Chain A
């Protein structure tokens, strides 16, 4: 039993259950086929036959009633005839339907008998109807009814009742057979179900018991491994899935033991362990290989970092000491700044006073500038007068120039006269010479005349020179006056400009007053700001002293860190790196 695989066990158990179910099915099928046949018979023959035969009995009862009424009634019989015809049609229809329902030899025989009785009744009835069609023969018809038709109707009714009873018996028979078949089927099914259920339970129990036992064992091993205990006793050799599972467990344990040994070596600091992953899917192997590689790198890095950390710590310690010194210096500087700030505050107060004086001086300046402006207006008027006077002088000089020109004309006339006189005396002298001794006296006169003419010429020359000098002096005077006028004009413009500038100065100086006030406020704000700075500096000094203290603490911490770093480097040096 133990050699069967789990698959074989499951297949065997389910196959047995299946066989039981098939046998149960076959029995049920045969029984139900019988039931089906009886049901068909009941549906197709027995029940419709019963129904139709009852209908037929009813139709004939009605027909007999109609015949009786016809016999009894006198007068009009049209309505009765009409009912009679419809009854005949109905009866024929029912009879045709019943013919299909006739069942068995007994039924056939009963039906043939009924046909014969029906024919004889119809003949008797036709006779009665013939007699009753006229009122005179009503008594004869009544008599015929009593004598022939009543016995025939009795036979007909008996025949029909027999048919109805036969059909009812058939139906009851079928129902009984069905009942019997269904009852046996129920029994069979119950027995089959009980047998099948028992077999299934047995098979299930057997399979479950085996699998559960094996799985309990495997789970125990897995729990042991999961708990880290790799001292698992090797499993007995078994075939099937369980054997494969146990062999896989053995391999897993071996692999884990190898990895555990490697981990022990690594923990001992040996990073030269060769970890070969079994495949690319070997997560543990790959992880160990990666871990060894990463650890090698890490150890190298940590080693380097330890050295770097050491040097950094040395630097930090030095820096910390420097900062300590700087903080001490900062505190001293802050105290100095505080003193300076106090000085600034005092200076600001002095400035406030000075600014007030500046405001006073500015007001005086504005007053003085206004006075200067008035003086300039007066000066402007004076300049205008000077310019007018210059114009008058220029006019006078022009007149003088004209007079000098007139003198020049007179001089020219005198010069011409002198020239003519000179010429005359020359000619006279020449003539006197030509006249010889007779002209001797005349010659003397001529010379004298010429001498006078020459003196006149010299005098006129002198006058001419003087007039020229006067004229040049006048033109120089005119030019000078022009320049003077120009200078006065430009001076006037400058005076106007100065006036405008003085106006601006007054304006600016007046605008200075609110600014001075503004400056005053600013200086006061500065003074209060300086006091605030002093207070802040006191805080700063305190903070710097606190910083010095904390830096001392941090220096101690750095020393501690240095010690730890040295320890770290010692620990790392225990690792033997493959790299």
Chain B
């Protein structure tokens, strides 16, 4: 299985390539004041306003650095009602892919209630890699809020 490797802080994380639509360079993000935690704002993707989640902001509380390697990863996000929607993830160090075996990932045994999107880990050539579970990335309430305008539209 192919995974896109990203960095949050100093650690490396993996996103399943199956869910990835496209990797884009960092574009201008329209900020949304007083939004839910981790929401960086919205941006224009092929004529549609797509919400963007800053993984660094979500996990560590500070915005991702503005580097060439910091990119927007467009993923398909299940809306919980049988459909899916495009969602932008702002991630640092999104410059390489890696082929990993599904069974190599193991639960590390520490329950993490506040960050349910962090899944099992595996060993990579430069240390441990933790998988990001996209379906658990947003709480339901936030997901409903994000995708409600689309339903109405």
With contacts A430-B23, A433-B18 known, is A415 near B68, CB below 8 A? yes
Instruction: Judge whether A344 is part of the interface by a CB distance below 8 angstroms.
Output: no
Closest to A419 in B: B68
Instruction: Judge whether B37 is part of the interface by a CB distance below 8 angstroms.
Output: no
Is the CB–CB distance between B25 and A429 below 8 Å? no
Closest to B22 in A: A427
Closest to A415 in B: B68
> B44-52, B56-64, B91-99, B113-121: which one contacts chain A?
B91-99
With contacts A419-B25, A433-B2 known, is A426 near B18, CB below 8 A? no
Is the CB–CB distance between A430 and B68 below 8 Å? no
**Bound: A447/B23 CA distance, A:** 15
Is the CB–CB distance between B18 and A422 below 8 Å? no
Instruction: Judge whether A138 is part of the interface by a CB distance below 8 angstroms.
Output: no
Is the CB–CB distance between A423 and B23 below 8 Å? yes
Is the CB–CB distance between B25 and A430 below 8 Å? no
Is the CB–CB distance between A426 and B68 below 8 Å? no
Closest to B94 in A: A426
| Closest Cβ–Cβ distance, residue A561 to chain B (whole Å) | 121
Is the CB–CB distance between B25 and A423 below 8 Å? yes
Closest to A429 in B: B97
Using a Cβ–Cβ cut-off of 8 Å, how many residues does chain B contribute to the interface with A? 16
Neighbouring B residues of A157 by C-beta, 8 Å = none
With contacts A415-B68, A434-B18, A450-B96 known, is A426 near B25, CB below 8 A? no
**Bound: A26/B2 CA distance, A:** 206
Is the CB–CB distance between A429 and B2 below 8 Å? yes
| Closest Cβ–Cβ distance, residue B99 to chain A (whole Å) | 9
Neighbouring B residues of A450 by C-beta, 8 Å = 96-97
With contacts A426-B23, A427-B23 known, is A433 near B17, CB below 8 A? yes
Q: Does more than half of chain B's interface fall in helix, strand or loop, or is it mixed?
A: strand
Neighbouring B residues of A447 by C-beta, 8 Å = 97
Neighbouring A residues of B94 by C-beta, 8 Å = 426
Cβ proximity bits B3-24 to A, threshold 8 Å, 1 near / 0 not: 0100000000000011010111
With contacts A430-B4, A430-B20, A433-B17 known, is A423 near B71, CB below 8 A? yes
Using a Cβ–Cβ cut-off of 8 Å, how many residues does chain A contribute to the interface with B? 16
The answer, among A426, A427, A443, for a CB contact under 8 Å with B96, is A426
Neighbouring A residues of B23 by C-beta, 8 Å = 423, 426-427, 430
Is the CB–CB distance between B95 and A422 below 8 Å? yes
**Bound: A416/B68 CA distance, A:** 8
Neighbouring A residues of B24 by C-beta, 8 Å = 423
Q: Which A251-278 residues have C-beta < 8 A from chain B?
A: none
Neighbouring B residues of A415 by C-beta, 8 Å = 68
Neighbouring B residues of A419 by C-beta, 8 Å = 25, 68-69
The answer, among A416, A423, A427, A430, for a CB contact under 8 Å with B2, is A430
**Bound: A253/B91 CA distance, A:** 162
**Bound: A423/B68 CA distance, A:** 10
With contacts A419-B25, A423-B23, A423-B71 known, is A430 near B17, CB below 8 A? yes
Cβ proximity bits A335-349 to B, threshold 8 Å, 1 near / 0 not: 000000000000000
Neighbouring B residues of A422 by C-beta, 8 Å = 95
Cβ proximity bits A434-445 to B, threshold 8 Å, 1 near / 0 not: 100000000100
Neighbouring B residues of A429 by C-beta, 8 Å = 2, 17, 97
| Closest Cβ–Cβ distance, residue A539 to chain B (whole Å) | 109
**Bound: A413/B95 CA distance, A:** 18
With contacts A415-B68, A434-B17, A434-B18 known, is A426 near B2, CB below 8 A? no
Which of A415, A429, A443, A447 is the most central at the interface, judged by chain B CB atoms within 10 Å of its CB? A429
**Bound: A450/B69 CA distance, A:** 13
| Those 4 A-B pairs whose CB atoms lie nearest each other, nearest first | A433-B2, A419-B68, A426-B23, A429-B97
A–B complex contacts, Cβ < 8 Å, 24 sampled: A415-B68, A416-B68, A419-B68, A420-B25, A423-B23, A423-B24, A423-B25, A423-B71, A426-B4, A426-B23, A426-B94, A426-B95, A426-B96, A426-B97, A427-B22, A429-B2, A429-B97, A430-B4, A430-B17, A434-B17, A434-B18, A443-B2, A450-B96, A454-B95
**Given A430-B17, A434-B17, 10 other A-B contacts at CB below 8 A?**
A415-B68, A416-B68, A429-B2, A429-B97, A430-B2, A430-B4, A430-B22, A434-B18, A447-B97, A450-B96
